[in-house]
């Protein structure tokens, strides 16, 4: 779970395009999008594996609740990395610093943190369930 946000985090590297040379921006766009697409694919595959494992122990409704929670935590982890500049391993090196910042975000209004987390989580959830729907419809067509 600590390293899960690293895969979709790459999408936020699109922010660096503002620093690109105008004439080579197309190359930067292609590179970042190819890495981001790969990161998203690996994230969704990991999420799918987790979902399949959870289904063995919990009913489907509770599994969905856990998945939504994981997606929210992922988006919040991306916020911590992109805007507060934390790395995954800092939970081991500097746990109290992270806990203080998380506590500050949870107990004092921080619109930027909540808007980013909810928006990015919605983006991840919609993509995941859309891809899953296409996969399920493909599987059912093959059985016909």
119 within 8 A of 71, measured Cβ to Cβ: no
pLDDT digits (tens, 9 = 90+) for 47-63: 999 999 999 999 999 99
Number of H-type helices and E-type strands within the chain: 6, 0
pLDDT above 60 for 75: yes
Distance from C-alpha of 21 to C-alpha of 95, rounded to nearest angstrom: 38
Q: Could you identify the residue written with the tokens 């899953």?
A: 132
> What pLDDT is recorded for position 109?
82
pLDDT above 70: residue 68: yes
Assess whether pLDDT exceeds 90 at residue 84: yes
């Amino acid at each position: 779970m600590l390293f899960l946000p690293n895969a979709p985090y790459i999408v936020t590297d699109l922010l660096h395009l503002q620093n690109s040379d105008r004439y080579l921006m197309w190359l930067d766009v292609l590179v970042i999008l190819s890495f981001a697409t790969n990161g998203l694919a690996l994230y969704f595959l990991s999420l799918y594996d987790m979902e399949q494992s959870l289904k063995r122990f919990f009913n489907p409704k509770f599994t969905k609740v856990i998945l939504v929670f994981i997606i929210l935590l992922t988006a919040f982890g991306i916020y911590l990395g992109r805007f507060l500049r934390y790395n995954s391993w800092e939970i081991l090196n500097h746990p109290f610093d992270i806990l203080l910042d998380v506590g500050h975000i949870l107990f004092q209004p921080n619109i930027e943190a909540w808007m980013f987390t909810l928006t990015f989580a919605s983006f991840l959830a919609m993509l995941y369930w859309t891809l899953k729907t296409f996969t399920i419809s493909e599987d059912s067509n093959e059985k016909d």
